[in-house]
A and B are shown apart, each in its own frame.
Chain A
Amino acid sequence: MKLKQILALALFGGSVSLAPLTAQERPYFVTYSHEMEEPGNLDIEFFNADGKPPGANRFVGSNIEFEYGVKTWWTTEFYLDGQITQHDSTIFTGYRWENRFRPLMGEHWINPVIYVEFENVSGDKALREIVGHDGIPDFADPNAESRLDKEREIETKLILGSNVRGWNISENIIAAKNLANEPWEFGYAVAVSRPLGLKASAHNCTFCREKFQAGLELYGGLGDRYSFGTAFTSHYAGPTINWQSPSGVTFLFSPQFGLNDYSIPRLYRFGVQYEIDQFLSRFHRGEK
């Protein structure tokens, strides 16, 4: 728990010392929307997944993410991952580096985004995506063993997103390849969300409807190249909500439910986000 407290303190310390910005992020934990980070902005996110697989110890898998808008059509993101397993240990599980590219300029009915990620992880329990035959058996090994299983993966996603009458609808198709000569694995994620209020208030407010976004998220595996399908893999669904505080920090929460015997019965996801506007220009004195 100490690591989490330190990270949380660092985030809140940052939020006090920097000017806030309204982030208006979607309340998704797994699904990506087509919305890119604004150029020059740095979004810091701290996401957690808590679960108790049957026959294994309770865990909390965490990511801290640094998302930067390079261009309007290019967002890059660096993750550090870790996990805590009850009656076992706390370990650093690796890192990821992702890039998202938006090939079509402007807004369309459906907006595609190309996602490419390299990850180097071992013993990861953050469940940022489900691919292949991911499921309960992955949580059975103690950390001392699971951390020896290094996964160097290339992960690609086709992200499709639409904004319609205040609703955001997002679909992700995932293909991941372990570079250690393992077959391509597949997964999916879909989500829908909407702010509780579409109009902005004329006055500052803390708990007004526009500060909340709520939605639903559904995601799971699709097997691999040799056994494609929804069997022998896990699937989850659940409601999700976020709230943006007046300081600009956004809090997210989602209880999620396993949809078959291969899935952990319940997952509790929670997170904190904070966006720093024009991050690099803060280091150029006198330049706005």
Chain B
Amino acid sequence: MLAKMPMTLFGMVLLSTALSFGAAVGDGAWLTGVPTREHAKTNPFRDQPDSISAGRRVYVDHCSHCHGENAEGTKKRPALKSDRVQQQATEGDLHWLLVNGGMRKGMPTWSKLGDPQIWQVISYLKSLHE
């Protein structure tokens, strides 16, 4: 019985980690799971003039088939022009979501793009409300 305890504990830790990262994406519940340090991150590409157009190119290649050509959303995936993305979520929140995804809700992780391209996409997304 005692020998099984560490494995059970390990399993619970794994499960809780998985569940915390798998917080629902579409309903915005993921925002509550963003660590404070990630929440406060700022976009190093914010003031770079080309970052919006570069981010638009990355967006079209990787995101538009789910979220629409102009981030208007599709039948199955949310719009990214919403208040949640434009006002509630900080740049750091969006960075955290793109790196970790919301895999239980169909949102892949995009860590393979690398930080510079992820920040460029965020520049593009945040430009949509202006």
Binding site for B on A (CB under 8 A): 21-22, 24, 26, 33, 35-36, 38-39, 71-73, 102-107, 163, 165-166, 168, 195, 198-204, 277-278, 287-288
Q: Assess whether A106 is in contact with B101, with CB atoms less than 8 Å apart.
A: yes
Q: Which of A73, A200, A287 contacts B57 (CB 8 A)?
A: A200
A-B contact pairs, 7 of them (CB 8 A): A73-B103, A104-B18, A105-B18, A105-B21, A163-B114, A166-B114, A198-B115
In the complex with contacts A200-B58, A202-B57, A288-B75, A39-B101 CB distance below 8 A: no
Bound together, the chains give a CA A8 to CA B18 distance in angstroms of 41
**Which of chain B's residues has its CB closest to A281's CB?**
B65
Interface residues on B, range: 35 or more
Interface of A is mostly: loop
Task: Point out the residue from B20, B54, B103, B116 that lies within 8 Å of A72, measured CB to CB.
Answer: B103
CB B12 to nearest CB in A, in angstroms, measures 14
Whether A104 lies near B17 (C-beta < 8 A) is yes
Chain B residues positioned under 8 Å from A38 (CB to CB): 108
Q: Is the CB of A22 within 8 A of B61?
A: yes
- Complex contact B109–A199 (CB within 8 A): no
Asked if B26 is at the interface of the complex by the 8 Å CB criterion, the answer is no
Taking a contact as CB atoms under 8 Å apart, the answer to whether A198 and B61 are in contact is no
Checking A22, A33, A72 against B108 with a beta-carbon cut-off of 8 angstroms, the contacting residue is A72
Q: Does B99 lie at the interface of the complex (its beta carbon under 8 Å from any beta carbon of A)?
A: yes
* B111 surroundings in chain A (CB, below 8 A): 107, 163
**Chain A minimum-CB-distance residue to B64:** A277
Closest to B33 in A: A106
B residues near A165, Cβ cutoff 8 Å: 114-115
Q: Is the CB–CB distance between B54 and A202 below 8 Å? A: yes
CB-CB under 8 A from B32, the residues of chain A are none
Whether A198 contacts B114 in the complex (CB less than 8 A), given A21-B65, A72-B101, A105-B101, comes out as yes
Closest 5 pairs between A and B when the two form their complex, measured CB to CB:
A106-B21, A22-B61, A202-B50, A106-B100, A72-B103
CA distance A283 to B14 in the complex (A): 38
CB of B127 within 8 A of chain A? no
Q: Within residues 1 to 27 of chain B, which ones have a CB less than 8 A from any CB in chain A?
A: 14, 17-22
Q: Is B117 positioned at the interface, with any CB of A under 8 Å from its CB?
A: yes
Contact residues in B for A22 (Cβ distance below 8 Å): 58, 61-62
Which residue of the partner chain, among A105, A199, A287, contacts B104 with CB atoms under 8 Å?
Answer: A105
Q: Does residue B107 face the partner (Cβ distance < 8 Å to A)?
A: yes
Are the CB atoms of B54 and A200 closer together than 8 Å? yes
Residues of B within 8 A of A103 (CB): 14, 18
Q: Mark B67-107, 1 if CB is under 8 A from A, else 0.
A: 01000001100000000000000000000000111011011
Determine the distance from Cα of A278 to Cα of B108 in the docked complex, in whole angstroms: 14
Pick from A33, A103, A104 the residue with the most CB of B within 10 Å. Answer: A104
Beyond A198-B114, A202-B57, 17 additional contacts (C-beta under 8 Å) are A21-B62, A35-B112, A38-B108, A102-B103, A104-B21, A106-B17, A106-B20, A107-B101, A163-B111, A165-B114, A198-B117, A199-B120, A200-B55, A201-B57, A202-B50, A203-B53, A288-B68
Does B128 touch A at the CB level, under 8 Å?
no
| Interchain CB contact under 8 A, B117 and A104 | no
* Given A163-B111, A163-B112, also A39-B106 (CB < 8 A): yes
Q: Is the CB of B103 within 8 A of A166?
A: no
Contacts of B40 in A (CB 8 A): none
Q: Determine the distance from Cα of A199 to Cα of B115 in the docked complex, in whole angstroms.
A: 9
**Minimum distance in angstroms from A210 CB to a CB of chain B:** 8
Residues of A within 8 A of B112 (CB): 24, 26, 33, 35, 163, 168
Min CB distance B78 to A, Å, is 14
